[in-house]
Amino acid sequence: MKVDGSCHCGHVTYEAEVDEKTVVICHCSDCQRMSASAYRVVAPTKEADFKLLNHPPKDYIKQSESGNPRVQAFCPECGSHIYATSVENVGERVFNIRLGSINQKADLTPTGQIWCRSAQPWAFNLEDIPRNDRQ
């Protein structure tokens, strides 16, 4: 599936090809802290299938919970997270695009969850939490 997206301010824009069957929710402690939320949803794509359309993101290298260094790419202007990837094997990496930056996010339903041992205890059952269409 072809997708496009951007950071919040539009400084970083991109196009990518993603497989909608590979979208996952990540409950790892890094995703919780870096997204300032309980989890993050990602759509993986091959590096060769990801194309920046204007400005490059800023890279921050973080040692992940697994011990591997990970590139965290974000907009240098507004701070929106765009993707994460490995440090090694440039050209052959997988970019985990942050679902919130994808324009077609409503068409990408997660098909799995990872790092569930780090999940917040309430994260698996949101049905009983009252909902409002607006604040």
Domain 2-118 belongs to what topology?
Answer: 2.170.150
Rounded CA-CA distance 91/48 in Å is 7
- CA 57, 34, 27, 107 dihedral sign is negative
**Helix, strand, coil percentages for the chain (3-state, nearest 5):** 15, 35, 45
List pLDDT tens digits, range 67-87: 889 999 999 999 999 999 999
Identify the pLDDT of residue 3: 98
Q: Show the tokens assigned to 44.
A: 């993986």
How much is the average pLDDT of 10-39? 94
C-beta neighbour count of 62 within 10 angstroms: 14
With 80 as the cut, is the pLDDT of residue 66 above it? no
pTM: 0.90
With 80 as the cut, is the pLDDT of residue 97 above it? yes
The rounded percent of the chain whose pLDDT value lies above 90 is 79
Q: Where are the domains of the chain?
A: 2-118
Name the E strands within the chain. 2-6, 13-17, 24-26, 40-46, 50-52, 58-63, 69-74, 81-86, 94-98, 112-114
Contact indicator for 55, 12 with CB cutoff of 8 Å: yes
With 90 as the cut, is the pLDDT of residue 126 above it? no
How much is the average pLDDT of 30-56? 94
